[in-house]
């Protein structure tokens, strides 16, 4: 049980389309317990999260606050009626699910935060990881899907009309070189539709994890990622770019992406981070 002088015990949920990760702890270096479970139906998945927190609370004491990072689209504006909801997701059965309310109510209405998984990842990298020493950081996850989160001004995540949907920007698509139509059910050949792990598997008929470094898939993949990063650098001017997700587990991708990004920018942005220190500008998560 926590003593009166202990730091507050925090509950967290990373809600993904494939799996949920629940944890309680006192900080990044002091995680007390963790549970990973497959994303099934909302009732079953949320119910298992609630059971986990109830068990941990009985063992370790009262939980003081809750943080939820979710796949989207999601309602992240606290002034709107859809705050805390997963909204128009293409994942079957998860449209308009009040995720935050369901979890928070089960924990007695404790203080809670809610944002997209990529904004939360960007904030974590800025505070504890690869963003050490910078004011603004852009985080991309490139895996089953693609999403982006941005923090600046002392760790403030970027919101707006809804939240960034950087995986659905449109990229130049040479249909002669790459006749693949794209895998996005909404846009076809947007960034996610061309470069996600799902798109790679549909195009090449095998999982990206099974493709050797010399496979032609990686040259094309690096090109699409570098094109998207070029757009982000020109529109948001982040001080660091962090690339995570399952596809980026292929370490040979980073040099390809960096070289292509420098080529696309073509000297227009006069910064030593791009001209001389690109390997410190485009980095994996820490």
Other C-beta atoms closer than 10 Å to the C-beta of 11 total: 24
Q: What is the pLDDT of residues 48-64, one digit of tens each?
A: 999 999 999 999 999 99
| pLDDT of 5 | 62
Give per-residue pLDDT as tens, 184-201: 988 999 999 999 999 999
**pLDDT of 3 over the 60 cut:** no
β-pairing, 10-15 vs 112-116, is unpaired
Cβ pair 34, 28 in contact under 8 A: no
Q: For the residues 34-58, what does the mean pLDDT come to?
A: 96
Residue 17: predicted pLDDT: 85
| Predicted confidence (pLDDT) at residue 102 exceeds the cutoff of 70 | yes
């Amino acid at each position: 049980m926590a003593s009166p002088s202990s730091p507050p015990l925090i509950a967290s949920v990373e809600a993904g389309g494939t799996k949920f990760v629940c944890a309680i702890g006192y900080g990044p270096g002091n995680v007390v317990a963790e549970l990973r479970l497959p994303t099934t139906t909302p009732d079953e998945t949320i119910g298992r999260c609630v059971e986990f927190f109830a068990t941990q609370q009985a063992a370790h004491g009262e939980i003081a606050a809750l943080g939820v990072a979710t796949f989207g689209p999601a309602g992240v504006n606290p002034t709107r009626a859809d705050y805390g909801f997963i909204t128009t997701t293409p994942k079957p059965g998860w449209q308009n699910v009040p995720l935050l309310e369901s979890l928070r109510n089960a924990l007695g209405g404790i203080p809670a935060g809610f944002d997209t998984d990529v904004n939360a990842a960007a904030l974590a990298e800025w505070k504890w990881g690869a963003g050490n020493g910078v004011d603004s950081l852009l985080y991309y996850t490139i895996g089953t899907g693609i999403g982006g989160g941005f923090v600046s001004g002392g760790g403030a995540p970027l919101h707006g009309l809804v939240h960034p949907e950087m995986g659905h920007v449109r990229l130049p698509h040479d249909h002669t070189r790459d006749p693949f139509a794209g895998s996005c059910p909404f846009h076809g050949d947007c960034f996610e539709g061309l470069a996600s792990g799902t798109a790679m598997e549909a195009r090449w008929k095998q999982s990206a994890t099974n493709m050797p470094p010399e496979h032609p898939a990686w040259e094309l993949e690096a090109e699409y990622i570098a094109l998207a990063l070029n757009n982000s650098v020109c529109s948001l001017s982040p001080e660091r770019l962090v690339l995570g997700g399952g596809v980026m587990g292929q370490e040979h991708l980073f040099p390809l992406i960096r070289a292509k990004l420098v080529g696309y920018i073509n000297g227009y942005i006069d910064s030593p981070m791009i001209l001389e220190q690109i390997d410190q500008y485009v980095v994996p998560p820490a």
